[in-house]
Amino acid sequence: MTLTMRTREKVRFGFQIKVPDGVGILIVCEDDFKTERMKAVLLEAGFVPECARSITAGCDGAKTGRFQLIISTSLLRDGSWRWLTDLANHYDLGFEVVLWAPNFDFSECAEALNDGAFGVLDGICEQQRTVEIAKRALWAAYLKGAGPDLRASAPQKAARFVPCP
């Protein structure tokens, strides 16, 4: 829907999903280049992600309960992204997992969604789609009870986030 203003500029109205401050996002990826690319997309959207270079470190981070969203590549040397969904189900953690797959077809995408992934991003992810999926996954996690740590919105608490290398 467009609205013409007196200045004859067209303004687009759309539904914008706003996420509360203090959300925790973890990127689990071995490739530093891919990690930096995903981090840049999330930073531009206003999120401050943390990073893990192995599925073991990702699972350890997920157990802390600080994260509402975990974005993981499909295969890592020490395990599969499915360990994260198993961990969430076993410990009743409310985080969502978004799979970041470099190569997949529709049957693999459907299988990942059936295995518990909230969404699947392709290897050449579009910035807008990545941000929208992240926002929706964060709200889904929030509705499941994994709300953000509101203390992190205070300036002295925001420093606890460790930026990605």
pLDDT digits (tens, 9 = 90+) for 134-146: 989 988 888 887 6
User: Which helix (H) or strand (E) covers residue 75, if one does?
Assistant: strand 75-76
Distance CA 95, CA 60 (A): 13
Q: Residues in the chain with pLDDT < 70?
A: 1-21, 104, 123-128, 146-165
DSSP string, 110-143: HHHHHTT-SEEEESS--HHHHHHHHHHHHHHHHH
Helices (H), the chain: 32-44, 55-63, 82-90, 106-114, 127-143, 155-158
CA neighbor of 118 nearest in space, from 94, 150, 102, 145: 94
- Please return the burial class of 34, using the count of CB atoms within 10 Å of its CB with bins 0-12, 13-18 and 19+: middle
- Two tokens, residue 126: 């579009």
Task: Yes or no: say if 101 and 120 are a contact pair by the CB < 8 Å rule.
Answer: yes
Residue 127, pLDDT score: 65
Residue 147, pLDDT score: 64
Residue 10, pLDDT score: 45
Residue 22, pLDDT score: 75
- Two tokens, residue 164: 């990605």
Confidence (pTM): 0.76
CATH architecture of 19-146: 3-Layer(aba) Sandwich (3.40)
Phi/psi region, residue 83 (left: phi>0; alpha: psi -120 to 50; beta: rest), is: alpha
C-alpha 74: how far from its chain's center? 14
